[in-house]
Amino acid sequence: MKTDTKTATVRARIEPGLKLNAETILNHLGLKPTEAITMFYKQIELNHGLPFQVKMPNAETIQAFKELEADRGKNQLKTYGSVEDMFKDLEN
């Protein structure tokens, strides 16, 4: 679909923490959010749909999620306060 204008605006509301974490990762990749969104839209256009599978987890995956959640306090699942903290830990 072609239009006469050179740009269009996309507005979306997302969780602030998700936005911060995603933009931190994009920054590490040298990308601006607008560039990432453009890439995503281009992939949708090229694939005539989402560029990844969207499906419900199966029973085995749901059980694994439950086990990870139950073990959260037992140090089997690492969590981080920020993406920066995760990258610092990975560097060590």
Per-residue pLDDT of 13-66, as tens digits, reads 999 999 999 999 999 999 999 999 999 999 999 999 999 988 888 999 999 888
Q: Are residues 59 and 47 located together in one domain of the fold? A: no
Instruction: Tell me the two tokens of residue 13.
Output: 């509301």
Q: So what's the pLDDT on residue 91?
A: 87
Q: What is the pLDDT of residue 1?
A: 58
pLDDT tens digit sequence for 70-80: 876 666 667 78
- Domain coverage including residue 39: 13-53
Supply the CATH number for residue 20's domain: 1.10.1220.10
Contact 77, 68 (CB under 8 A): yes
Same domain as 67, residue 38: no
* Count: domains in the chain: 2
Please give the structure tokens belonging to residue 76: 């089997």
Task: Examine the pLDDT at 85 and tell me if it is beyond 70.
Answer: yes
Task: Give how far the C-alpha of residue 36 lies from the chain's centroid of Cα atoms, to the nearest Å.
Answer: 11
Q: Is 47 in the same domain as 62?
A: no
- The answer to whether 75 and 14 are in contact (CB under 8 A) is no
pTM: 0.57
